[in-house]
Amino acid sequence: MSDTILDVKKLCVSYRGEGGYNHAVRNVSFTLGREKLGIVGESGSGKSTVGRALLRLLPTAEITAEKLRFEELDVLALREKEMLKVRGRRMSMILQDPKFSLNPIRRVGEQVAEAYLTHFKCSKAEARAKAISMLEAVQIRDCERVYDLYPHEVSGGMGQRIMIAMMLLTDPDLVIADEPTSALDVTVRLQVLNILDKLVSERGIGLIMISHDLNLVRNFCDRVLIMYAGQVVESLKASELHLAQHPYTQGLLAAQPRIGGGRGRLSVLNRRPEWKEPIEVQA
């Protein structure tokens, strides 16, 4: 692929623990073009850690990789000062819960505008105008009013849209969305996803969607990586998820209740120790 945004080879993240290192992420390799890549797995499987490692947001962890290339940059070799110019500007992250990720004592609009002011030389009025037009782009009605609200005055869905606006304002090339909609209701979730989808396709942004929701990933992403115990156990096209080979993926699919799916017992994952054995999947 000529326009590869991200090229990751054998990414490992480990934390120093008692008597050596605990490996949270082991040998994760994938490439990302201008597409939507989903990472699914249960909690504790290391999916969020991968996202954070890409942004080097893990100060206490040891991150190693054979290759971690973001466009022309070698992310692991960058100094922190250079990383500051990448983080939030060219690579940004949408966090799970707007209630906790917005500063409660500052107006939401200011927080959105701040993203722009940090990375571009411009006047406050310009940043405000930019922020407002971005709020409009995420379909917030009456943006001028919303700009001056505090986070506790907006609903969850609107908060998440504000987060998306903040992250897309600097026009990044890569957005990592860490469970962007799991705090939202089904109806609002679809709206937020549609907005995200539209913006991502219009601007040609690479998107990594971290989620534990198989339905969401299946509907929304182009490709899916399935993680278990820190490793990628399978990589599939989203449309071919039902052809999954790995027993863990099959187990996840079967455990999902469905509307009109009958009342039979839901199958429960039977975790096997051999799933933790090193395997390598190139995606």
Partner 1 sequence: MKSVDIRNLSITLGHGAKAVKILPDVSFSVGEGECFGLVGESGSGKSTILRCMSLLLTQWDGKITIGGKDVRQMPLIERCRTLQMVFQDPYGSLHPRQSVRTVLHEPLRIHGMDNRQERMERAITEVGLPVDFLDRYPHQLSGGQRQRVAIARALILEPSVLLLDEPTSALDVSVQAEILNLLSDLRAKRGFTYIMVSHDLAVVDYMCDRFAVMQAGEIVEILDREALDGNKATKPYARQLIEASLEYDSAV
- Based on the shown chain and the rule CB under 8 A, indicate whether residue 221 belongs to the binding site for partner 1: no
The dihedral over CA atoms of 187, 190, 196, 201, expressed in degrees to the nearest 10, equals -150
In terms of DSSP H, where are the helices of the chain? 47-54, 80-86, 98-101, 108-119, 124-137, 143-147, 156-168, 186-203, 214-220, 247-255
d(CA 214, CA 164): 21
- Based on the shown chain and the rule CB under 8 A, indicate whether residue 18 belongs to the binding site for partner 1: no
Give the Cβ contact number of residue 26 at 10 Å.
19
> Which segment (110-118, 130-138, 212-220, 275-283) binds partner 1 by CB under 8 A?
212-220
Question: Of the candidates 17, 260, 273, 278, which one interacts with partner 1 according to CB under 8 A?
Answer: 260
DSSP per-residue string spanning 27-68: EEEEEE-SSEEEEE--TTSSHHHHHHHHTT--TTEEEE-SEE
From residue 43 to residue 82, what is the string marking binding to partner 1 with x (rule CB under 8 A)? x---------------------------------------
- Based on the shown chain and the rule CB under 8 A, indicate whether residue 108 belongs to the binding site for partner 1: no
- Based on the shown chain and the rule CB under 8 A, indicate whether residue 156 belongs to the binding site for partner 1: yes
In 3D, which of 104, 204, 203 has the Cα closest to residue 159? 104
Q: Is residue 232 within 8 Å of 281, Cβ to Cβ?
A: yes
- Based on the shown chain and the rule CB under 8 A, indicate whether residue 153 belongs to the binding site for partner 1: no
Question: Of the candidates 160, 218, 226, 234, which one interacts with partner 1 according to CB under 8 A?
Answer: 218
CA atoms within 13 A on the CB side of 4: 14
- Based on the shown chain and the rule CB under 8 A, indicate whether residue 246 belongs to the binding site for partner 1: no
- Based on the shown chain and the rule CB under 8 A, indicate whether residue 187 belongs to the binding site for partner 1: yes
Helix (H, G, I), strand (E, B) or coil at 25: strand
- Nearest approach in angstroms of CB 73 to partner 1 is 34
Q: ∠ at Cα 237 (276, 190), nearest 5°? A: 105
* Structure token pair of residue 168: 């897309």
- Based on the shown chain and the rule CB under 8 A, indicate whether residue 273 belongs to the binding site for partner 1: no
The conformation of residue 105, written as its DSSP 8-state character, comes to T
> Which segment (16-24, 128-136, 137-145, 252-260) binds partner 1 by CB under 8 A?
252-260
Question: Of the candidates 59, 77, 259, 273, which one interacts with partner 1 according to CB under 8 A?
Answer: 259
d(CA 87, CA 174): 10
225-244 residues near partner 1, rule: CB under 8 A: 242
Question: Of the candidates 79, 263, 277, 282, which one interacts with partner 1 according to CB under 8 A?
Answer: 263
- Nearest approach in angstroms of CB 218 to partner 1 is 5
- Based on the shown chain and the rule CB under 8 A, indicate whether residue 222 belongs to the binding site for partner 1: no
Interface contacts to partner 1, rule CB under 8 A: 42-43, 155-156, 184-190, 212-216, 218-219, 242, 251-252, 255-261, 263, 265-269
